[in-house]
Amino acid sequence: MRETPRPQGTAGDTGAEPPQPRTGRALAHTAGASRSGSPLRSDGRPPHTPRGTRHTDEAGRPGTTPPVPGRPALLVLLLLPALLFAAATWQVLARGPVVRLDERVSGALVGSVPAPVAELGADLGNMPVAVPVLVAAVVWAVRRGARAAAGWAALAMVLVPVLVVPLKLLVDRAGPLTEATGYYPSGHTATAMAAYGGAALLVRERWRWATPVAVFLTAATGAGLVLRGYHWPLDVAGSLCLGVLLLAPLWWVSSSGRRRSSGRTPRRRTGPS
């Protein structure tokens, strides 16, 4: 490799002059690395990897890290149960094939378990049993500052009779063991889902077991109503879809609130104070 010739010393020099750095490609590479902070880049441009340019969104929209529920997820939670509820309601009104299958399934299930057991499950959907659970969770959430989520939970519970009673009058379906009408959708199932599900969404940050407990209580309510002969299975299924529609805004608000609160949490200092 060719080297740059050294300048010759004079008689007055007292010692050898230190070697001078060359102003070539390697010097430019070193200077670029000092500007960009990377030994592999010779200019000051930022890295082109997505991790280096991605910014999180305080509102919790898609693409943030870690992933949080965004508006597309909320739309799916609203659209899918709405379509299923509309299809179930149409089948009941038209007495379609799903209704005939529903009646055969109900005939096979009613009385298959002891009546006290089925009655116990059905009673979980009574308002005096379910609503106090939601009230306690709402009070707890308000005291912790989650007023928006608490408001949505209370609104979901209020909307249950507002929506269920007109639907019962409109569909006018008879019950499995009676000629009386007004059994679609199931008010007890909707009450259980709004109360237990809403309470679980409010307290899940503190008690993770609240969600599976809410699922169990809601499922026990629907099963008890069907096994006791109080409702057709399709009545319960329609109310479950309605409950998802009522709880979807609460799920989105509570999840977004958790994301914002975690983003405001100061990082713990690891260095010496």
The pLDDT score that the predictor gives to residue 17 is 52
What's the pLDDT band for 266 if we cut at 50, 70, 90? very low
What is the pLDDT of the chain when averaged over all its residues? Answer: 79
For 181, phi then psi, to 5°, come to: -115, 175
Q: Which two tokens stand for residue 166?
A: 């007109």
What's the pLDDT band for 267 if we cut at 50, 70, 90? very low
The pLDDT score that the predictor gives to residue 69 is 52
State the average pLDDT over residues 157-165.
Answer: 96
The pLDDT score that the predictor gives to residue 36 is 46
State the average pLDDT over residues 68-80.
Answer: 70
Within a domain: residue 266? no
* pLDDT higher than threshold 60 for residue 12: no
Q: Which domain holds residue 130?
A: 71-260
The pLDDT score that the predictor gives to residue 11 is 44
The pLDDT score that the predictor gives to residue 190 is 97
State the average pLDDT over residues 171-186.
Answer: 94
Within a domain: residue 217? yes
Taking the C-alpha atoms of residue 209 and residue 250, their distance in angstroms, rounded to an integer, is 18
What's the pLDDT band for 256 if we cut at 50, 70, 90? confident
Within a domain: residue 205? yes
The pLDDT score that the predictor gives to residue 205 is 86
**pLDDT tens profile 87-144:** 999 999 999 999 999 999 999 999 899 999 999 999 999 999 999 999 999 999 999 9
Within a domain: residue 39? no
**pLDDT tens profile 194-246:** 999 999 999 998 888 999 999 999 999 999 999 999 999 999 999 999 999 99
**pLDDT tens profile 142-152:** 999 899 999 99
Find, among 139, 121, 248, 124, the residue nearest to 199 by Cα.
139
**Count: domains in the chain:** 1
Within a domain: residue 105? yes
Within a domain: residue 31? no
Within a domain: residue 244? yes
Within a domain: residue 16? no
The per-residue b/e assignment along 101-110, b for 16 or more CB within 10 angstroms, e otherwise, is: ebeeebeebb
The pLDDT score that the predictor gives to residue 33 is 44
State the average pLDDT over residues 160-185.
Answer: 95
The pLDDT score that the predictor gives to residue 61 is 46
Q: Which two tokens stand for residue 195?
A: 């109360």
